[in-house]
Amino acid sequence: ANAPVNVTITGAAGNIGYALLFRIASGALLGPDQRVNLRLLEIPPAVKAAEGTAMELFDSAFPTLGSIDIFDDPKKAFEGANIAFLVGSMPRKAGMERADLLSANGGIFGPQGEALNAGAAEDIKVLVVGNPANTNALIAASHAKDIPASRFTAMTRLDHNRALAQLAAKTGAHVSELDKVTVWGNHSTTQYPDLTHATVKGQAIPEILADRAWVEDDFIPTVAKRGAAIIEARGASSAASAASAAIDHVRDWCLGVKDYSWTSSSIMSEGQYGVPEGIISSFPCTCENGEWKVVEGLEIDDFSRARIDASAAELLDEKNAVASMGLI
């Protein structure tokens, strides 16, 4: 058998943590033949709740679960980590100033980046889920000088999955019959879910793309504002679907993109498609040997251009704000 893979999860006692831990432990991340050791990081007041979740994980007797350890110190939690899910953060609350939001997250993701740099395994892969995810990932990356920036990613896979689900509902096809959907930009309402290259059962979808009212007034806002719709319906933010998307993202990263041409992943821009270098933005991506690769050569029409530019501008703005606060 392979050596166990060490997986660190921050915010482990939260809602997403509760859904995520059991899927990782049960083999959904790396398959039935790979044992995982879980390393849970929480803030001191939530350690007891994490211990309760650990009791349930223990009681599940998963064949794929090695050990479970709980920490309140990032330095210890990231020691030897092969994979890190950074879920715990300070998301925006009503009335919160942007400067307060960014500085609170700088206080979390800066030290976590340093701790990853100090102790993570050579092959570390980091997925930031906690919002504002793209900029939090940038902060962590900037504090981990010895880890390639390509190892820090942010989650736009939930947006990608939501786009697939909406297109499936519209076409009557199954999600598994859809391909070449892309989410560009920031995990925020400026994101651009793009159907320009989408196929259904291998066929282009000109009639659907010609229905601009549906694409622009229904599909795009429904995907971009789905998080708020879930909060409205559930009285709590998306947790199980977010956990599921996090699994999809890291599984594709570790095992390769299979069964579809590409997916959407927020990775460090090298200037592809005119997205400024040095921001963590969502792109159409494949994965080879544990490295994300942007799908090159797609044609970008004027509508897409404007949307991609607008979301990139927002990311650049967030970057400039954290830079001016000395957080990166």
Q: Which positions are catalytic?
A: 187
CB of 315 to ligand NAI, least distance (A): 14
- Using the rule CB under 6 A, give the single segment among 123-131, 171-179, 213-221, 267-275 that binds ligand NAI: 123-131
Among 7, 38, 84, 87, binds ligand NAI (CB under 6 A): 87
Q: Give just the sign of the alpha carbon dihedral 265, 124, 279, 141.
A: positive
Burial 21-37 (b: 16+ CB within 10 A, else e): bbebbbbbbbeeebbbb
Chain positions 90 to 109 lying near ligand NAI, rule: CB under 6 A, are 91, 108
Q: Does 80 bind ligand NAI (CB under 6 A)?
A: no
Annotated binding-site residue numbers: 11-17, 92, 98, 105, 112, 129-131, 162
Task: Give the whole-angstrom CA distance, residue 242 versus residue 226.
Answer: 12
- Would you give the distance in Å from CA 104 to the centre of its chain? 20
DSSP structure class, residue 38: E
CB of 266 to ligand NAI, least distance (A): 9
Amino acid at the residue 70:
I
Closest residue to ligand NAI, based on beta-carbon distance: 14
Where helices occur in the chain by DSSP H, the ranges are 15-25, 47-59, 74-77, 98-119, 133-142, 157-171, 206-210, 212, 220-224, 226-234, 240-255, 302-324
Considering beta carbons, is residue 175 or 228 the nearer one to ligand NAI? 228
How crowded is residue 305: how many other Cβ atoms within 10 Å of its Cβ? 13
List of residues 6+ apart from 315 with CB closer than 8 A = 134, 135, 185, 186, 276, 279, 280, 281
Q: Does 131 bind ligand NAI (CB under 6 A)?
A: yes
Among 205, 242, 295, 322, binds ligand NAI (CB under 6 A): 242
Radius of gyration of the CA atoms of the chain, in A: 19
Q: Does 223 bind ligand NAI (CB under 6 A)?
A: no
Among 42, 252, 314, 318, binds ligand NAI (CB under 6 A): 42
Q: Does 129 bind ligand NAI (CB under 6 A)?
A: yes
Considering beta carbons, is residue 35 or 182 the nearer one to ligand NAI? 182
How crowded is residue 191: how many other Cβ atoms within 10 Å of its Cβ? 27
Binding footprint of ligand NAI, residue count (CB under 6 A): 27
Task: Give the whole-angstrom CA distance, residue 292 versus residue 71.
Answer: 30
- Using the rule CB under 6 A, give the single segment among 41-49, 141-149, 209-217, 307-315 that binds ligand NAI: 41-49
Phi, psi dihedrals of residue 13, rounded to the nearest 5°:
-90, 0
Considering beta carbons, is residue 87 or 224 the nearer one to ligand NAI? 87
Among 24, 133, 257, 322, binds ligand NAI (CB under 6 A): 133
Residue numbers at the binding site for ligand NAI (CB under 6 A): 10-11, 13-17, 41-43, 46, 87-89, 91, 108, 129-131, 133, 155, 158, 187, 237-239, 242
